[in-house]
Amino acid sequence: MDGTPRSVAQKIIARAAGMASVEVGDYVTVAPDYVACQELFWPGHKRNLERIGVDRIPRPDKAIMVIDHSTSAAMGSPHHETHRTLRDWCASQGIETFFGPGNGLRHLVLTERGFARPGTLIFSDEGNIASIGALGALNLPISTEVIVALIQDGTWIAVPPSARITLTGRMGFGVGARDVIQTILRDQTTNSALLQACVEFAGAGVATLSIDERETILASLFHSGAYTGVMPVDDAVIAYVEARAQGRPWQVVEADPGVPYIADLTYDLSAIAPMVTLPPDLHAAVPVGDVAGQRIDQATIGSCSGGRMEDMRLAAGLLRGRRVAPHVTLYITPGSRNVYAAAAREGLLEVFAEAGATVLAPGCTTCWGYQGVLNDNEVLISTQQFNYAGRNGARSARVHLAGAAVVAASAIEGRIADPRPMMAEGVA
């Protein structure tokens, strides 16, 4: 080592490349710990594998295949064929880590089942898998290049620069992790400050966040233009990983002092309010009070940015003893089978049913419009990832983004609502 300070990303990539060190901008060939794929992209991946003439991959133990977008296949849908071909291909390759419909989102499969561990490198075909960085794992989204990694047990990448976001303080009453990332996106999406960077989070504020909250922040980080992100590994992370690693190796990786970050930002968690992101822009977040009173037709809680256990508890806390407004449809999607089961054990599913909500199978469901399609001019408030025109049906429909508490309160009121007065009543 030459004494040059290096980032978390540099250190994890160097280990995967079998090198003592790598520099930002270097092109290096790395062997990932895992390659994670989902079924929507599988038909294209399969065609490419067939064109190349690949009959067998060398490391089936590294492939993690998850059906998480199309959790069911309705009559006339092409997804049933994708389900079958992916299942059959995994069986032919000896891939034991195939997770079919109902297992939930890859993000949660990777964390809950012990694949994402400190220091591991995971390739995926989507940027929002950065959520595994909450456990000190590094996700590199490489799109269609995932088949190269499957074929060769590795591929080349460019070592990304790093940025740092320091969190101070503690979130206030009624404020959640989704409000934090919406605030960051409001400030950073249009200025390219985080473009193609691995964002390292730091500061005493991180320790005040649960694992679920850290994952929620990282899951939407890619909207800022960032490549990926990681959180520090503290005692909470170590306890979580040790309970799930099943003897598989891991290593805590920390940045060296003096890393030349391309951006160095600070956010005071205590200064953040409940937020709503206005359509159709991902950076158009405003305090909920600015848009409160807007009538809604549908509300959805779920997706990789809002379907974890703490989201279920927040929603249930508000819905318990209350009813969804008569003109509103509320869909709730647990992020994984584990979350679904835990919600059942805690009685949350009963709360949802009694309040008038519909609980869907674990997966992406309403986030990409697979369920919960909107009619012309309807208004949705959701914990999902995107709000562009046509995301959930009619192009004239409008999608507002918010955290689980805002969505639940809005479903009850029938219009966009600040959850804090309702929470303060003591029912929530």
Tens-digit pLDDT profile for residues 59-73: 999 999 999 999 887
**Is residue 407 a contact partner of residue 311, using CB atoms and an 8 Å limit?**
no
Give residue limits of the domains in the chain: 8-267, 276-424
pLDDT band at residue 1 under the 50/70/90 scheme? low
**Is residue 52 a contact partner of residue 151, using CB atoms and an 8 Å limit?**
yes
pLDDT value, residue 72: 82
pLDDT value, residue 175: 98
**Is residue 410 a contact partner of residue 382, using CB atoms and an 8 Å limit?**
no
Mean pLDDT along residues 406-412: 98
Among residues 282, 294, 288, 307, the alpha carbon closest in space to that of 383 is found at: 307
More confident residue, 253 or 77: 253
Mean pLDDT along residues 159-174: 98
Helices and strands in the chain: count of H runs, count of E runs: 13, 18
Helix, strand or coil for residue 21?
Answer: coil
Question: Residue 281, class by beta-carbon neighbours within 10 Å (0-12 exposed, 13-18 middle, 19+ buried)?
Answer: middle
Distances (CA, A) of 16 to 19, 121, 153, 212, 292: 8, 7, 11, 27, 49
Dihedral sign, Cα of residue 408, residue 409, residue 412, residue 415: negative
Half-sphere exposure in the Cβ direction for 331 (13 Å, CA)? 26
Q: Which fold has domain 8-267?
A: Aconitase; domain 3 (3.30.499)
pLDDT value, residue 78: 85
Structure tokens at 42: 């599988």
**Is residue 96 a contact partner of residue 52, using CB atoms and an 8 Å limit?**
no
Instruction: Locate the DSSP E strands across 367-411.
Output: 379-382, 398-402
**Is residue 137 a contact partner of residue 118, using CB atoms and an 8 Å limit?**
yes
pLDDT value, residue 426: 67
Cα-to-chain-centroid distance, residue 169: 24
pTM equals 0.96
Tens-digit pLDDT profile for residues 324-371: 999 999 999 999 999 999 999 999 999 999 999 999 999 999 999 889
Interatomic CA distance for residues 20 and 312, integer angstroms: 44
pLDDT band at residue 427 under the 50/70/90 scheme? very low
Q: Which residue in the block uniquely carries the two structure tokens 């995932």?
A: 146
Tens-digit pLDDT profile for residues 274-308: 999 999 999 999 999 999 999 999 999 999 999 99
The percent of residues above 70 in pLDDT, for the chain, comes to 99
Range in 49-53, 310-314, 334-338 the model is least confident about: 49-53
pLDDT band at residue 199 under the 50/70/90 scheme? very high
Interatomic CA distance for residues 195 and 198, integer angstroms: 9
pLDDT value, residue 2: 77
Total Cβ atoms within 10 A of residue 373:
13
Interatomic CA distance for residues 148 and 154, integer angstroms: 7
Tens-digit pLDDT profile for residues 280-289: 999 999 999 9
DSSP state letters, 295-327: B-SEEEE-STTT-SHHHHHHHHHHHTT----TT
Interatomic CA distance for residues 364 and 103, integer angstroms: 11
Cα-to-chain-centroid distance, residue 302: 10
Interatomic CA distance for residues 274 and 172, integer angstroms: 9
pLDDT beyond 50 at 117: yes
**In this structure, CATH architecture of domain 276-424:** 2-Layer Sandwich (3.30)
Tens-digit pLDDT profile for residues 225-240: 999 999 999 999 999 9
Mean pLDDT of the chain: 96
pLDDT beyond 80 at 76: no
DSSP state letters, 330-367: EEE--SBHHHHHHHHHTTHHHHHHHHT-EEPPSSSGGG
Mean pLDDT along residues 21-33: 98
**Is residue 230 a contact partner of residue 138, using CB atoms and an 8 Å limit?**
yes
pLDDT beyond 60 at 428: no
DSSP 161: P
Mean pLDDT along residues 362-383: 95
pLDDT beyond 90 at 319: yes
Cα-to-chain-centroid distance, residue 40: 17
Q: Which residue in the block uniquely carries the two structure tokens 């170590």?
A: 238
Domains 8-267 and 276-424 share a fold: yes
The percent of residues above 90 in pLDDT, for the chain, comes to 93
Q: Decide the pairing of beta strands 285-287 and 162-168.
A: unpaired
Instruction: Locate the DSSP E strands across 74-212.
Output: 98-99, 121-124, 138-141, 155-158, 162-168, 198-202
